[in-house]
Structures are given as structure tokens and as C-alpha cells.
């Protein structure tokens, strides 16, 4: 089944990519833009068929490889359309 | 209000980053991993307070800057926790 892992920089960690996106949008004429934060979305197709076990495995993968726990936080969810 | 834009490579477009993540997970001992796809998640804080207008603006931003329509598809959603 499909599992999605979202990895974002923690609040308080400077996000230069997000800031660059915000400035580019302002330059393009978009107004009223506050904070912009850029993160990663990783979709994994797992052989696991039980949602709880798939979620647990994806959490373990995020801890060990996908996220850097020093500066990033992550969340795991099962896409509803899958 | 906060709006999230998800940008993924279209189906059929080779995703080397996703493939590298899949191989790294397998090397770490995780089994049963099928396709892995890596995308971007961009969270924007907009001055707009109407959800429909915020969504429309974020869609316009995605079309003009955040996604490359040749190889990427995007979706816009309003995070429920915001």
C-alpha cells in the first residue's frame, strides 16, 4: 500500500529555499505573502497491507533515513485516494 | 491563511531521487519496497482569508512558479490544522 512521508524543517530553523520562493512570488507580483516553507514529500509503495504496520514501517524509515531529526520534523500518513 | 502546494513528478517521468531513496532503504535492510517518488511540499502563509480565493491564488502561483508543467503535476489544499 502507499504511504506518504512529509518532511519539513522545524519551526525556527532558517529555510532559505522557502524564503527564495516567497521573494520570487513577490517579484512576480503576488502580494500578501507571509512565511513560505519548503519541504519534501516522499511517497512509498510498501508490500505491507495493514495500515497501522505500514505507518509504523514508514515512521522507522523516516527516523533512519528520510528526515534529519536535528533540523527536520516529519509526519506519516496514508493517502486517502490509494 | 495557510495553503499547501504539493508538487510531484508526473507518472512516467523518471524520478532518480525517489529511486535513490528506495535503494538506500533496501540497503538499510527495509524489505518490500516498491516504487518511491520524491516531491516537494510548499507551505504558504497568505493574507487571503477566504479558502476558495486562497486556493485559487495558490493554484496560480503553482502554475507560474512552483511547478514545471512539462514534467510536474501539483495539487493545492488547505491544511486542516490551520
CB contact under 8 A, B44 and A36: yes
Residue B38, beta-bridge partner list: A42
CB contact under 8 A, B46 and A28: no
pLDDT < 70 stretches in chain B: 81-82
How far B71 CA sits from the closest chain A CA (Å)? 16
How far B67 CA sits from the closest chain A CA (Å)? 12
pLDDT per residue as tens digits for the range A34-55? 999 999 999 999 999 999 999 9
Q: Which ipTM was obtained for this model?
A: 0.88
Chain B CB contacts of A44 below 8 Å? 22, 25, 33-36
How far A10 CA sits from the closest chain B CA (Å)? 13
Cite the beta strand spans of A11-80 per DSSP E. Answer: 33-46, 72-77
Residue indicated by cell numbers 497568505? B46
pTM across the whole model: 0.90
Q: How confident is the model at residue A82 (pLDDT cuts 50, 70, 90)?
A: very low
Does domain A2-77 sit in CATH 3.30.1280.10? yes
Instruction: Give the helix/strand (H/E) hosting B20.
Output: helix B16-27
Q: How far apart are CA B55 and CA B46, in angstroms?
A: 10
Amino acid at each position: 500500500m502507499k504511504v506518504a512521508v512529509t518532511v519539513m524543517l522545524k519551526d525556527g530553523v532558517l529555510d532559505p529555499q522557502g524564503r527564495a520562493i516567497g521573494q520570487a512570488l513577490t517579484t512576480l507580483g503576488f502580494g500578501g505573502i507571509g512565511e513560505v516553507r519548503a519541504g519534501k514529500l516522499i511517497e512509498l509503495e510498501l508490500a505491507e497491507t495493514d495500515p497501522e504496520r505500514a505507518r509504523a514501517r514508514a515512521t522507522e524509515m523516516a527516523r533512519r533515513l528520510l528526515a534529519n531529526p536535528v533540523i527536520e520534523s516529519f509526519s506519516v500518513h496514508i493517502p486517502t485516494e490509494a
